[in-house]
Amino acid sequence: MTSLPKIAVYAGHGGQDPGAVAQGRQEKNLNLAVSNAATAVLRGWGYTVINNRTTDVDRSITRDANLANENRVDALVEIHFNSNQGVPGTGTEVFYSVRDTGRGRALASAILRRIVALGFRDRGVKTQANAQGQDAFAIIRLANMPAVLVECAFINNPSDMSLLNTDTMGRAIAEGIREIFPVNSGGGMPAYPGTPIRVGDRSEHVRQIQACLNRAQERHQAIPRLTVDGVFGPRTQEAVITFQRIVGLNPDGVVGPLTWARLQQECQGGGGGSGGGGSGGAPPFPGTSLREGSRGDSVRMVQSCLNRVSQPCGRQLSEDGVFGPRTRDAVTTFQRIFELTPDGVVGPITWARIFSECGQTVPAFRQVSNECTCGSNNEAAAPVADQTQLMQLLLLSMVK
């Protein structure tokens, strides 16, 4: 399993050294505000972050470089603001090492892209060498890992300064870091560890769950924000329960194979995106539970959605809006798979879970079922027994 990346986020200047000064602003203060903001965002995602300073104190470049080297961080990002003589310059530039083998430049580019997206002018990624051909910036020269120095904007340019929000800037930098040094190299969470994770547990797995829940929280505000400390306390439990409710899983606060699989799905592929995914597209619950004997459009929607999530195995149900025994069996099987009470009745939780699954671009269910052979050309109705068997197979394959 890949552990979470460790990042050095440093604020340039400090204490006796204000850095650039213009119009009553001191660079050291802006650097610190951005550094603290980026650090908070990264920690929220589960990163280990070390800082050179978190308050207005002197810094030593040599000591700070040693700190990063001794801690064997994966990357170092130092924050500055630019300044010039004459007509104020504008925009953002990011420096990387002349010794770079690829990742430093990639990191510089990713950070720059995010900042430019905020409206700052793109001045490019650069290297800067001294007369000996070494990195002109000492922090980059002394660091043993990919190291970049971000000149966020021009402190002497009023329009750069009016565009600046230090929190947004910090977040943009954090996002750039995450792009190149993702929380997990596979993007998201590793395979299910084999045993359920619950209150009282302390482990790397708990850290991964907390980091993933914090990412889910960006889409689902109801989930409480967590400190990523690897300790499964009551607040983590509350977050798990809230997440389970949102996605329609049994809200028991325990991370078993299905909750883990759903978290994996939530934290795949860079996450945080708008559009698609999640339970956002679920139609409102009709108000009364659907059960055998029910009829109408709501039943038809459930049938259609169940057919969709069980592709490519052919259509199991006729979408006739009549809740018959086959629909009941399909609902029961679905409930079993997703750890809901298997009563064959579509109440609010089952409703939410069915449509959350259906709303996925690639339903988790279908992702797994692609691996099995079920005669994908088969447009004819497959017996429900086959579906049950298939789902049990899926469940086994998820549990591993």
Q: Catalytic site residues? A: 151
Residue placing its CB nearer to Zn ion in the complex, 85 or 274: 85
CB 345 within 8 A of CB 290: yes
Chain positions contacting Zn ion, by CB under 5 A: 12, 19, 80
CA distance 316 to 234: 42
Q: What is the phi-psi region of residue 285: left when phi exceeds 0, alpha when psi lies from -120 to 50, beta otherwise?
A: beta
- Least gap, CB of 11 to Zn ion (angstroms): 10
Write phi, then psi, for 388 (nearest 5 degrees).
-60, -45
Sequence-separated (6 or more) residues with CB below 8 Å from residue 287: none
Residue 124 β-bridge partners: none
DSSP letter at 3? Answer: P
- Least gap, CB of 135 to Zn ion (angstroms): 15
β-pairing verdict for 92-95 and 147-154: antiparallel
- Least gap, CB of 138 to Zn ion (angstroms): 12
Q: How many CA atoms lie within 13 A of 174 on its CB side?
A: 23
- Least gap, CB of 259 to Zn ion (angstroms): 46
- Least gap, CB of 72 to Zn ion (angstroms): 26
Write phi, then psi, for 56 (nearest 5 degrees).
-85, 80
Task: Give which of 325, 281, 330 is closest to 302, Cα–Cα.
Answer: 330
Helix count and strand count (H, E) for the chain:
14, 8
CB 308 within 8 A of CB 227: no
Residue placing its CB nearer to Zn ion in the complex, 19 or 44: 19
- Least gap, CB of 91 to Zn ion (angstroms): 15
Residue nearest to Zn ion (CB): 80
**Nearest-10 Cα torsion for 170, 176, 182, 186:** 140
| Burial environment of residue 297 by CB neighbours within 10 A (0 to 12, 13 to 18, 19 or more) | exposed
- Least gap, CB of 82 to Zn ion (angstroms): 8
Neighbours of 11 (CB within 10 A): 29
* Single-letter code of the amino acid located at 400: K
Sequence-separated (6 or more) residues with CB below 8 Å from residue 138: 61, 62, 65
